[in-house]
């Protein structure tokens, strides 16, 4: 089977996925009979190229690395905006990796609606549209008989959504709990070593873990979007982000952490979804965990999720929650999954 | 899609799966359109019944619970042996849950060869045939265009094989390491609390974790079979169990454990597979792990596996490694997987 891919957005995650597509081409063909070419990239900053025969990915990646944009690409049609690229390119798979917006999901939601309406598969790492419009979008995908997959919206490439939907398919997931934001876990880990909030935030920003405007991480909004996605997709909930009581780590002081340590505890920012009289509820909040809790031992930017199920008791997955190649890998997992590989 | 299942063996695991099939019938139909009936059970101790219209599973389970056998079942044909049941029943899915034999794989290997040859799907928790004959059996399944699946041979129902083959499909797994025997991990956990080897073995036997003849667990043979399966299935190895240097926990003394504790370490029985100049190798051995290693925190009968991959760094799955319903659940995962559910 051969696919044509269009990238909507070409930031870190898009480039990570493009790198995997370049480096694993022979492996994916030999192992899964998966063939593909990338025929369009549209990014508001880096520019836009459509080349219906498919790009030389090495050239594209080198160009973006060197010049920061696609202007120097010597073939194809330039200047199509994202919606024109979705609607008029020959791509049958839309890789939606535009910036996340958890207020209204734009511009991702418009890209995804257009793509599914045109019977194009969508794979995305964009949390906003999934957290806000999962039911509408999954129904639209079903009606148009195409895939809508988003493993990378939670825990980057660490299997979380596909783990629950495929390998735990026969189980009733009753509770999901875990560390789903790497930046704050890194900060809490470093604060437990005695560094101040401001110092670790500055360090996290320097390392590229935290944004210049760190609110989405430190106020818990990123974790909020992720627990909403898990609650709705895995547990059948119907939550909106603003339904979810959310508290970040901004009020935790070094004194709090020292006190916790004295009691053998650590702070972790926990996303939690559970069923209460058949209704799915969720919250995000810092919690004190003891050494008997697995999450106590999950440090730095690592993420972890525990699924409590009827048939299997607790299953925990631990792995990277961020990274260029790691998050790009989630798109490869989705791509392989609807291709039917295993 | 409607399937007819035959159980070859009806011990703890078979009964666990039958319980799930009974309790989840409506859920599985509603969610995945999965329909089925069980038309045959053949067990050397509990007897054999074939009823082509399908059993009342509640009746079968109650009967086995009360009387220990199937003799009192009031319908169907009695007395078919396992091979006749595989070959002549109307089942299109063979649930192979006869006792594990890691010397020569019998009688499971004969059941599986016969079933695949008859173009019947096979789902199994039987380690012997998979550890010894994976290449032959997977090729036979491929040729006959049927499924051959065995999630429960490793880590019971905790996703391990399906995790690697589906959610990590696009990755190159370069190293697998973990705790894959619950009995010995329970014993090491209790010994670290100061109890003697003999006392904890007796306790493990009382709790049903260890067999009367505990060699397969304490000498590492169970972990050996599991790491061979992982190495061959996930990493493309071609190992036989007797290729794998294997050491159990029988030589670990309370003194050793006390000394380790002084150094901040714990003993864990580790199965490990890795690539060395392109060749897959494996070993089973007790190892000292420190608190910075995740496996240090995995206690009791819980199992854990860490996959090191090219694209995703390390991913660890932690969950139950035994149990009636938990292991039965692995068969449901396999069943749903070839049914194409997600």
CATH number at residue B298: 3.30.360.10
Same structural domain, B188 and B282: yes
Test B32 with A332 for CB contact under 8 angstroms.
Answer: no
Mean pLDDT, rounded, for B267-271 = 98
Under the banding of pLDDT at 50, 70 and 90, the label for residue B340 is confident
Residue B120 lies in a domain: yes
Helix/strand/coil (H, E, C) string of chain A? Answer: CEEEEEEECCCHHHHHHHHHHHHCHHHHHHHHCCEEEEEEEEECCCEEEECCCCCCHHHHHHHHHHHCCCCCCCCCEECCCHHHHHHHCCCCEEEECCCCCCCCCCCHHHHHHHHHHCCCEEEECCHHHHHHHHHHHHHHHHHCCCCEECHHHCCCCCCCHHHHHHHCCCCCEEEEEEECCHHHHHHHHHHCCCCCHHHHHHHHHHCCCCCCCCHHHHCCHHHHHHHHHHHHHHCCCCCCHHHCCECCCCCCCHHHHHHHHHCCEEEEEEEEEEEECCEEEEEEEEEEEECCCHHHHCCCCEEEEEEEECCCEEEEEEEECCCHHHHHHHHHHHHHHHHCCC
Same structural domain, A95 and A228: no
CA–centroid distance for A327 within its chain: 7
Q: Give the dihedral sign, CA B24/B26/B29/B31.
A: negative
Same structural domain, A20 and A50: yes
On the question of pLDDT at A208 being above 90, the answer is: no
SS3 B107: coil
Mean pLDDT, rounded, for A277-296 = 94
| Percentage of residues in chain A having pLDDT higher than 90 | 93
pLDDT at position B208, please? Answer: 83
CA distance B311 to A324: 10
Query: Which long-range CB contacts under 8 A does A287-294 form with residues at least 24 apart?
Result: A288/A260, A288/A263, A289/A265, A290/A264, A290/A265, A291/A264, A291/B297, A294/A318, A294/B297, A294/B318
On the question of pLDDT at B41 being above 70, the answer is: yes
Test B332 with A314 for CB contact under 8 angstroms.
Answer: no
Q: Give the dihedral sign, CA B78/B80/B85/B87.
A: negative
Helix (H) or strand (E) holding B335: helix B324-339
Residue B71 lies in a domain: yes
Residues of B in contact with A315 (CB under 8 A): 158-159, 317-320
On the question of pLDDT at A292 being above 90, the answer is: no
Same structural domain, A313 and A168: yes
Give the ipTM of the model, two decimals please: 0.95
Residues of A in contact with B294 (CB under 8 A): 297, 318
Do residues B61 and B99 lie in contact, with contact meaning Cβ atoms separated by under 8 Å? no
Q: Name, in order, each residue with C-beta under 8 angstroms of A44's C-beta and a sequence gap of 6 or more.
A: A82, A98
Q: What is the full DSSP assignment across B180-247?
A: --HHHHHHHHHHTTT--HHHHHHHHHHTTSS-SSTHHHHTSHHHHHHHHHHHHHHH-----GGGS-B-
CA distance B285 to A145: 50
Same structural domain, B209 and B304: yes
Same structural domain, B94 and B79: yes
pLDDT at position A1, please? Answer: 79
State how many domains chain A has.
Answer: 2
Test B294 with A318 for CB contact under 8 angstroms.
Answer: yes
Test B159 with A167 for CB contact under 8 angstroms.
Answer: yes
CA distance A262 to A256: 10
pLDDT in tens, A214-259: 999 999 999 999 999 999 999 999 999 999 999 999 999 999 999 9
Same structural domain, B67 and B207: no
Under the banding of pLDDT at 50, 70 and 90, the label for residue B263 is very high
Same structural domain, A186 and A309: yes
pLDDT in tens, B155-192: 999 999 999 999 999 999 999 999 999 999 999 999 99
The catalytic residues of A are 226
pLDDT in tens, A33-60: 999 999 999 999 999 999 999 999 999 9
Residue B27 lies in a domain: yes
Closest C-alpha to B155, from B121, B133, B122, B127: B127
Under the banding of pLDDT at 50, 70 and 90, the label for residue A213 is confident
Lay out the sheet containing B47-50: strands in order across: B77-78, B47-50, B35-43, B2-8, B93-96, B121-124, B148-149
CA distance B334 to B94: 12
Q: Which of A10-24, B105-119, B290-304 has the lowest mean pLDDT?
A: B290-304
Closest C-alpha to A153, from A233, A213, A46, A92: A233
Same structural domain, A184 and A47: no
- What is the count of residue pairs from A and B with beta carbons less than 8 Å apart? 139
CA atoms within 13 Å, Cβ hemisphere of B217: 21
Test B167 with A294 for CB contact under 8 angstroms.
Answer: no
Do residues A118 and A102 lie in contact, with contact meaning Cβ atoms separated by under 8 Å? no
SS3 B19: helix
pLDDT in tens, A129-156: 999 999 999 999 999 999 999 999 999 9
| Percentage of residues in chain A having pLDDT higher than 70 | 100
SS3 B281: strand
Measured between alpha carbons, how far is residue B187 from residues B156, B194, B305 in Å? 19, 11, 19
Measured between alpha carbons, how far is residue A332 from residues A53, A59, A99, B1 in Å? 21, 20, 19, 30
CA distance A241 to B97: 46
Active site residue B226: yes
CA distance B44 to B14: 13
Residue B163 lies in a domain: no
Mean pLDDT, rounded, for B20-41 = 97
Q: Closest approach of chain A CAs to the CA of B238, in angstroms?
A: 17
Under the banding of pLDDT at 50, 70 and 90, the label for residue A211 is confident
User: What mean pLDDT, rounded, does chain A reach?
Assistant: 95
CA distance B290 to B262: 11
- Give me the phi and psi of A166, to 5 degrees please: -105, -60
Residue with more model confidence, A212 or B272: B272
Do residues B55 and B39 lie in contact, with contact meaning Cβ atoms separated by under 8 Å? yes
Q: Closest approach of chain B CAs to the CA of A78, in angstroms?
A: 32
**Beta-ladder partners of B121:** B93
Mean pLDDT, rounded, for B30-58 = 97
pLDDT in tens, B311-330: 998 999 999 998 999 999 99
Under the banding of pLDDT at 50, 70 and 90, the label for residue B342 is low
CA distance B235 to B172: 8
CA distance B247 to B270: 10
Test A313 with B320 for CB contact under 8 angstroms.
Answer: yes
Do residues B255 and B221 lie in contact, with contact meaning Cβ atoms separated by under 8 Å? no
Terminal Cα-to-Cα distance of chain B (whole angstroms): 15
Under the banding of pLDDT at 50, 70 and 90, the label for residue A342 is low
Closest C-alpha to A167, from B185, B169, B270: B169
Do residues A8 and A46 lie in contact, with contact meaning Cβ atoms separated by under 8 Å? no
pLDDT at position B166, please? Answer: 92
CA distance B280 to A37: 32
pLDDT at position A322, please? Answer: 87
Mean pLDDT, rounded, for A317-334 = 95
Q: Other C-beta atoms within 10 Å of A84: how many?
A: 15
Nearest-by-CA chain B residue for A317: B317
B83 CB within 8 Å of a chain A CB: no
Do residues A191 and A199 lie in contact, with contact meaning Cβ atoms separated by under 8 Å? no
Closest C-alpha to A224, from A131, A144, A161: A131
Same structural domain, B9 and B48: yes
For residue A99, the enclosing domain spans: 2-157+324-339
Query: ∠ at Cα B326 (B321, B332), nearest 5°?
Result: 125
Interface of A with B in 19-38 (CB under 8 A): 20, 24, 27-28, 32
Task: Tell me the pTM.
Answer: 0.96
- CATH at residue A64: 3.40.50.720
* Numbers of helices and strands, H then E, in chain B: 13, 12
Largest CA distance in chain A: 64
Same structural domain, B17 and B80: yes
pLDDT in tens, A164-189: 999 999 999 999 999 999 999 999 99
Residue B162 lies in a domain: no
Interface of B with A in 84-123 (CB under 8 A): none
Same structural domain, A92 and A213: no
């Amino acid at each position: 089977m051969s696919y044509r891919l269009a990238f909507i957005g070409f930031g870190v995650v898009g480039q990570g996925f493009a790198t995997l597509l370049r480096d694993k081409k022979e492996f994916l063909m030999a192992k899964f009979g998966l063939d593909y070419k990338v025929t369009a990239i549209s990014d508001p900053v880096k520019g836009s190229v459509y080349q219906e025969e498919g790009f030389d990915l090495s050239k594209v990646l080198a160009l973006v690395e060197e010049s920061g944009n696609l202007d120097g690409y010597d073939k194809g049609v330039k200047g199509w905006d994202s919606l024109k690229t979705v609607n008029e390119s020959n791509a049958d798979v839309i890789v939606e990796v535009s910036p996340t917006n958890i207020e209204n999901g734009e511009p991702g939601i418009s890209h995804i609606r257009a793509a599914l309406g045109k019977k194009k598969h969508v794979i995305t790492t964009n949390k906003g549209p999934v957290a806000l419009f999962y039911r509408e979008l999954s129904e639209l995908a079903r009606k148009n008989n195409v895939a809508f997959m988003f493993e990378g919206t939670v825990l980057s490439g660490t299997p979380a959504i596909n783990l629950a939907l495929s390998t735990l398919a026969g189980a009733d997931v009753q509770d999901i709990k875990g560390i789903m934001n790497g930046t704050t876990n890194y900060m809490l880990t470093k604060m437990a070593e005695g560094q101040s909030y401001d110092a670790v935030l500055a360090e996290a920003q320097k390392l590229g873990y935290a944004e210049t405007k760190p609110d989405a991480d430190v106020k818990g909004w990123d974790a909020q979007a992720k627990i909403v996605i898990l609650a709705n997709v895995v547990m059948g909930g119907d939550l909106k982000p603003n339904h979810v009581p959310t508290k970040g780590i901004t009020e935790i002081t070094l004194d709090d952490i020292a006190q916790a340590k004295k009691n053998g505890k650590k702070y972790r920012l926990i996303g939690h979804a559970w069923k209460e009289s058949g209704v799915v509820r969720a919250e995000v909040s810092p919690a004190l965990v003891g050494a008997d809790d697995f999450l106590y031992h999950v440090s730095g930017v690592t993420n972890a999720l525990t699924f409590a199920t009827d048939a299997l008791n607790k299953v925990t997955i631990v792995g990277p929650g961020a990274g260029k190649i790691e998050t790009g890998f989630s798109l490869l997992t989705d791509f392989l999954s609807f291709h039917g590989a295993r």
